[in-house]
């Protein structure tokens, strides 16, 4: 009643309002109810209805969240470099191994190789090694892998094959824990930086499963690091190994082991990008007088577990790099959202604050006017 009179009075005589910080007309609307302050840009037009104090608290909390998400993004970026260095450190091993594997295979061309790890059996049971991350806040990373695992399990069921799962990483572990109808063989913990010891633990498990003929095929599900914003969950056949050391996809697409693909994080035009290079390792010949201390078959028997280990370690490293990249991009968009939310909230807060001041001034003026 008196408010509405006042509003009309203010609108007709704009010069009477305090000129210092107010522009009178726009604050008439919020004077009724502070609910029409939806900024035109935001697609989710949530109505912000709070008092001044709550708004202040919300702005504070959004600011803190923004600091945290930005810090997480920088930490993830630093860790991606470390993960990349780990991949680079692993190259001398795999290069030497591949070179030796090639040479031995040339010597064994005509012989019949009978090594437990390369035995191809009719498949009745398949083991799936699923590599997930340990922590959340990484966008759709863990979800993609788990969805791919479920899809593969459905395929295997449709083919009438039995399956068992080896889950690596806390997220996968908790997912499979909640689903007792999926037979899980072992739960393994991932870690911040995959070392040979962890790869060894997985390799031991897989080795014993395969050699004891409990499973006839082992497939590895991990995320391939394609670029900073894209990663691909892939399925590779881990066992049986081909004696030549080829890495095969489930569809039978085989990549030669000598073609080593590695990724490098570099900057191009000020932005972080990923370059993938395919390098063909030089398979130089051994000196002709190289003697094998043991039977070439025994030597191959010792080489293949090494190869298995390095494959598993490689996939763990790629998964880690993809997880970090996913976390980087998720935290980056979270930071952007926090900035925008803070801007909107500040705008509403300022409008309310100014409306309150206007109200007080109007009361004072009306009171003074009433005395006259």
Partner 1 sequence: MTLNLCVLTPNRIVWDSEVKEIILSTNSGQIGVLPNHAPIATAVDIGILRIRLKDQWLTMALMGGFARIGNNEITVLVNDAERGSDIDPQEAQETLEIAEANLRKAEGKRQIIEANLALRRARTRVEAVNAIS
Closer residue to partner 1 (CB): 95 or 340: 95
CA distance 59 to 63: 6
Closest C-alpha to 347, from 36, 136, 129, 75 = 36
**Binding flag, residue 88, partner 1 (CB under 8 A):** no
Catalytic residue among 3, 50, 138, 254: 138
Smallest separation (angstroms) from partner 1 to the CB of 206: 11
Pick from 90, 108, 123, 250: which binds partner 1 (CB under 8 A)? 90
Check residue 24 and report its DSSP letter: S
Smallest separation (angstroms) from partner 1 to the CB of 36: 60
CA distance 86 to 21: 58
Smallest separation (angstroms) from partner 1 to the CB of 43: 46
323 CA to centre of own chain: 3
Strand pairing class (247-249; 231-239): antiparallel
Strand, helix or coil for residue 228? coil
Closer residue to partner 1 (CB): 99 or 359: 99
- Binding residues for partner 1 restricted to 96-125, rule: CB under 8 A: 96-97, 100, 104
Smallest separation (angstroms) from partner 1 to the CB of 333: 32
**Longest CA–CA separation in the chain, Å:** 118
Smallest separation (angstroms) from partner 1 to the CB of 316: 9
Check residue 109 and report its DSSP letter: T
Closer residue to partner 1 (CB): 289 or 371: 289
- Binding residues for partner 1 restricted to 202-221, rule: CB under 8 A: 203-205, 207-209, 211-214
Strand pairing class (259-268; 271-280): antiparallel
Structure-token pair, residue 122: 């009719």
**Binding flag, residue 303, partner 1 (CB under 8 A):** yes
Beta bridge partners of 177: none
Task: Please count the residues of the chain.
Answer: 372
- Binding residues for partner 1 restricted to 48-87, rule: CB under 8 A: 86
At residue 292's C-alpha, the angle toward residues 95 and 207, to 5°, is 60
Structure-token pair, residue 38: 């939806």
Q: Total number of residues binding partner 1 (CB under 8 A)?
A: 44
* Matching residue, tokens 């206007």: 358
Smallest separation (angstroms) from partner 1 to the CB of 308: 9
138 is catalytic: yes
How many C-beta atoms lie closer than 10 Å to residue 3's C-beta? 13
**Binding flag, residue 127, partner 1 (CB under 8 A):** no
Structure-token pair, residue 219: 């497939």
Pick from 298, 360, 363, 364: which binds partner 1 (CB under 8 A)? 298
Catalytic residues: 138
Instruction: Please give the residue ranges that form the binding site for partner 1 (CB under 8 A).
Output: 86, 89-90, 92-94, 96-97, 100, 104, 194-197, 199-200, 203-205, 207-209, 211-214, 286-287, 289-294, 298-299, 301-303, 305-306, 309-310, 313
């Amino acid at each position: 009643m008196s408010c509405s009179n006042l509003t009309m009075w203010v609108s007709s005589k704009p010069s009477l309002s305090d000129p210092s910080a107010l522009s009178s007309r726009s604050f008439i609307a919020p004077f009724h109810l502070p609910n029409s302050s939806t900024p035109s840009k935001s697609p989710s037009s949530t109505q912000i209805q709070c008092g001044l104090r709550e708004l202040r608290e919300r702005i504070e909390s959004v600011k803190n969240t923004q600091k945290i998400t930005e810090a997480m993004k920088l930490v993830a970026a630093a860790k991606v470099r470390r993960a990349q260095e780990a991949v680079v450190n692993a190259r001398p091993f795999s290069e030497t191994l591949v070179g030796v594997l090639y040479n031995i295979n040339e010597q064994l061309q005509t012989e019949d190789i009978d090594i437990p790890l390369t035995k191809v059996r009719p498949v009745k049971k398949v083991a799936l090694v699923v590599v997930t991350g340990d922590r959340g806040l990484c966008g759709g990373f863990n979800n993609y892998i788990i969805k791919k695992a479920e899809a593969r399990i459905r395929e295997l069921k449709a083919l009438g094959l039995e399956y068992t799962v080896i889950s690596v990483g806390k997220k996968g572990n908790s997912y499979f824990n909640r689903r007792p109808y999926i037979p899980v063989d072992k739960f393994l913990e991932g870690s911040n930086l995959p070392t040979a010891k962890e790869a060894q633990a997985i390799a031991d498990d897989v080795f014993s499963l395969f050699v004891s003929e409990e499973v006839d095929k082992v497939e590895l599900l991990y995320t391939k690091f394609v670029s900073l914003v894209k990663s691909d969950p892939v399925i590779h056949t881990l066992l049986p190994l081909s004696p030549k050391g080829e890495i095969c996809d489930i569809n039978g697409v085989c990549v030669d082991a000598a073609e080593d693909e590695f990724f490098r994080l570099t900057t191009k035009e000020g932005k972080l990008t990923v370059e993938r290079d395919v390098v063909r390792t030089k398979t130089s010949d051994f000196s002709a007088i190289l003697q094998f201390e043991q039977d070439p078959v025994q030597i191959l028997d010792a080489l293949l577990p090494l190869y298995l280990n390095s494959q598993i370690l490689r996939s763990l490293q790629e998964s880690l790099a993809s997880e970090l990249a996913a976390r980087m991009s998720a935290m980056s968009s979270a930071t952007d959202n926090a900035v925008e939310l803070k801007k909107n909230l500040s705008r509403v807060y300022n409008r309310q604050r100014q409306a309150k001041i206007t109200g007080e001034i109007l009361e004072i003026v009306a009171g003074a006017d009433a005395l006259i």
